[in-house]
Amino acid sequence: MHLIPPRISLFRSSSWAALWLAAALVGCGAPATEEDVSLGRSAEGLVSTNGLSTNGLSTNGLSTNGLSTNGLSTNGLSTNGLSTNGFQTWFTQDPALADMVMRYVVQCSMAAGATLSYQSPAGTNYTWHGSLGLAPGWAGGQPATLAEQQVVSACLAAHANKYGVHVNISVLGRDAVGGEMPYSTDELNTYAEREACFFGNLFTGEGTFAANDGAYLSYDESTVRTCGLSSWSETTTCAPMKHVGACRYYCTLDATRTYYTRCKYNGVNYRPITTRMLPQDIYRCGDGVCQLTEKCGTGNTPDSCAADCGACN
């Protein structure tokens, strides 16, 4: 099987059910299934496979009930936090969705090797595995700090995928205490397409926001990563996440100009996550392949791509 170089993080989403991080951690070189994915870390950085829809960002998802003061944010991301009435009520409304959401929340928040277990009121046992460790205090059972709320929210939003398909992306930024996610020149060269920045706060109901880091898509281009890298006309396709334009209008780059360290929107300073993508994951009408993002028609745009998808019957 393919072995992931030491210390590179690779995730795989296994459901459409929510906008959250990735699937379960199994360790470097271990067999991967749809539920479990090989994971390692390297000085080369963090490469993550997104593929999750935006459903989990709605007020019916974790943002209102699971991350409210009645849920996890009161007692921290711990067994005590899971025992609250707010969390249990939210979880039992849709256990499959909640399981998926928690898998990604734990991946984002807790460190590799850490796990969080929960027994639902129905008696089903769940175990979720940590990976990124972006929120060490919250992961340890403390109330989430503002920085932890923001960076976890940004991390989750960065894995939004309107089409619910798997696309590898490079994830860059800093954790809640300022630690940098490692990356290498090779990673930046491979994931050469600047994509987007993501920021916001799901814990407070402020929502999540995305902005183009790369150039807007041209009239004949499309991508399944449209929640971040959009055209001028695609600003509401990933509701409830809001696309707000270009990162340069809101965000400050780090000293190397590789990723953003702060984004200010509506007077609030946020800790963002920056993403890069493979150039081949941007599609063009006329390349001979009818992509998921393209439709039949008589024109040369993704919504009406005669060359790739033919005329509509």
pLDDT value, residue 175: 95
Mean pLDDT of all residues in 58-87:
52
Q: Write down the domain spans for the chain.
A: 24-280, 282-313
Return d(Cα 205, Cα 146) in angstroms, integer: 13
Return d(Cα 115, Cα 104) in angstroms, integer: 12
Mean pLDDT of all residues in 273-291:
94
Q: pTM for the whole thing?
A: 0.77
pLDDT value, residue 29: 24
Q: 79-97 burial by CB neighbour count: b if 16+ within 10 A, else e? A: eebbebebbbebbeebeeb
DSSP single-letter state for residue 25: E
pLDDT digits (tens, 9 = 90+) for 90-144: 788 888 878 877 887 888 888 889 999 999 989 999 999 888 889 999 998 888 8
pLDDT value, residue 47: 58
pLDDT value, residue 89: 82
State whether residue 185 is helix, strand or coil: helix
Mean pLDDT of all residues in 157-174:
81
Confidence class for position 62, pLDDT limits 50, 70, 90: very low
User: Which of 64-68, 100-104, 206-210, 280-284 has maximum average pLDDT?
Assistant: 280-284
**What are the φ and ψ backbone dihedral angles of 131, each rounded to 5 degrees?**
-150, -60
Confidence class for position 75, pLDDT limits 50, 70, 90: low
In DSSP terms, 119 is beta-bridged to 125
Mean pLDDT of all residues in 16-28:
26
In DSSP terms, 25 is beta-bridged to 37
Identify the helix (H) or strand (E) that includes residue 243.
strand 242-246
pLDDT value, residue 253: 98
In DSSP terms, 265 is beta-bridged to 268
**What are the φ and ψ backbone dihedral angles of 185, each rounded to 5 degrees?**
-60, -40
DSSP single-letter state for residue 38: -
**What are the φ and ψ backbone dihedral angles of 80, each rounded to 5 degrees?**
-65, -40
CB atoms < 10 A from the CB of 301, how many? Answer: 18
Of 112 and 308, more confident: 308
